[in-house]
Homo-oligomer: A and B are copies of this chain.
Amino acid sequence: MTQKGMQKSYMCKDIRESCGLFGIFGVSDVAPLIYQGLFALQHRGQEGAGIVVSNGKKIRSAKGLGLVNDVFSKKSFDSLKGHIGIGHVRYSTTGTTRIQNVQPLVAECADGIWAIAHNGNIVNAKSLRRMYQESGSIFQTSSDSEVLVHILADPMYRRRPRRVERALEEMRGAFSFLLMTRDSMMAARDPFGFRPLSIGKYEDSYVIASETCAMAQIGATFIREIDPGELVTVNSSGLHSSTFSEKKDHFAQCIFEHIYFAHPDSNLFGRNVHSVRYQYGRQLAMEYPVDADIIIAIPDSGNSAALGFSQCSEIPLDFGFIRNHYVGRTFIMPEAQERRHWVDMKLAVLPEVVKGKRVVAIDDSIVRGNTSANRIKYLRKAGAKEVHVRISCPPIKYPCYYGIDFPTKKELIATQKTTEEIRDMLGADSLGFISLEGLLTPFENQKDFCTACFTGNYPVEIKSAQGKRTLERYST
């Protein structure tokens, strides 16, 4: 429709999550429910979506590039009849229109068809891929998720007990997996629990979702999170749990889910997202108090923290930015106009609110810094007397290898500049990033979180990340 060449994404930050998963077993017509679930997970991936269902005999799928609303139609539902199904929303890292990579992947091996949906990043995918290619396997996607299918199909696994567990054991890195065969659904979380995945109940059926907001959307009830290292299998005889990894002495749940990705009404890693962000606001108010007239949020990810900051500091909250609800994924900015000046299609400043005021602006994170700088400029133009910036996230300094797509290190402003330099570049009167300690305050088991992007301490080694099996085969 619109000219791809001119499309600009004004919706997302410069940070991107891999994916969202949703599955259900046991309702007469699952596709519409999966559709609704994926819709509620849309914020986890906007560039492609797929649904695969089974009626116990045949497996059918529909997938496409774009938003959930664009990919599926009434006709999709007509053909997707079944009582088991899994779905996926994703973004394509390359930005090109590679329909092949849209998940769930569907592949046939000796004992039937497998559908696989994945959230995360498998750090030893490359070596596993090479190994399987050496032994004659062919790969049809460029996705790291495909290796799992190959391990499952491998006779060394296929013919032995605990096949799926043993296959998952080979994986290193971050992964929440949703699998489906003709007659069962499986879900697993890596031993460190990087990515979220929960179980719920809808009528008599089981639901698996990346975030609880998707369960709420269809009226399902949250039961519990899948444990790190746990494989959950749902089939006609009910729900079964097994483990595929010894219990780690600590987990590495992604703190960035709470900071930015997850939906405020989701509960993740034991806590509600909105509440955590609210607490971040309070924490910021204590760490970086400031004498000011009003607190404003950068909507929407700054909303909860702004409320917390306001209620802790007793400085009144106001709405200094209004969000335009028609900003979709794309907006055509004619070149001529683009050259004129930076235009914020997403947020409008309210001069009535900020004029003559000392303003505290609360944002969830600073990545490159340009957008923030421009917004501060707008606040000043609208008459703000002072602009104090508080960020509910420590400075992001290191790349993530576990499923978050930050810009390159060179583009991350916090790897290049000190806080004072960033403040200066933003044109703010003061700037405060929440401390790492503050960030973990809301949680009891603080060691169960991954903070590698702030500290560089990576819980799973990147280079030598190899599975047991790899060595076995080559030592033979």
Task: Show the binding face of A for B, using Cβ within 8 Å.
Answer: 1-6, 11, 29, 31-33, 35-36, 39-40, 42-43, 67-70, 72-75, 77, 99-100, 105-110, 114, 130, 132-140, 142, 149-150, 153-156, 158, 213, 216-219, 263-265, 267, 272, 274-275, 300, 303-304, 307, 311, 316-319, 322-326, 328, 330-334, 336-337, 341, 343, 345, 348-353
Contact = CB atoms under 8 A, between A and B. Distances in A.
A351 B337 CA distance: 44
**Chain multiplicity (copies):** 4
A426 to B, nearest CB: 20
Contacts of A343: 36, 217-219
A341 to B, nearest CB: 6
A264 B345 CA distance: 15
Contact of A73 (B1, B137, B324, B351): B1
A156 B136 CA distance: 8
Contacts of A134: 110, 155
B140 A107 contact: yes
Given A274-B352, A350-B264, A73 B108 contact: no
Given A213-B348, A319-B264, A336 B29 contact: yes
Given A3-B75, A107-B138, A135-B136, 11 more contacts: A2-B69, A36-B337, A42-B326, A43-B326, A69-B332, A74-B332, A108-B138, A109-B138, A110-B134, A136-B137, A217-B348
B107 A133 contact: no
A155 B137 CA distance: 9
B303 A307 contact: no
A140 B265 CA distance: 38
Contact of A350 (B158, B272, B319): B272
A319 B149 contact: no
Contact of A109 (B137, B333, B348): B137
Nearest to A264: B322
In the A-B complex, the 6 residue pairs with the smallest Cβ-Cβ separation, listed nearest first, are: A32-B334, A110-B133, A32-B337, A272-B352, A107-B138, A3-B74
Contacts of A69: 2, 326, 328, 330-332
Contacts of A1: 70, 73
**Of A300, A311, A334, most B-chain CB atoms within 10 Å:** A334
18 contacts: A39-B326, A39-B345, A42-B326, A43-B326, A69-B328, A73-B332, A107-B139, A109-B133, A109-B136, A110-B134, A136-B156, A136-B158, A137-B137, A137-B153, A138-B153, A216-B349, A219-B343, A275-B353
A1 to B, nearest CB: 6
A307 B135 CA distance: 59
Contact of A136 (B29, B108, B153): B153
Given A317-B317, A332-B74, A136 B107 contact: no
Nearest to A151: B136
A218 B69 CA distance: 30
Contacts of A105: 140
Contacts of A140: 105-108, 140
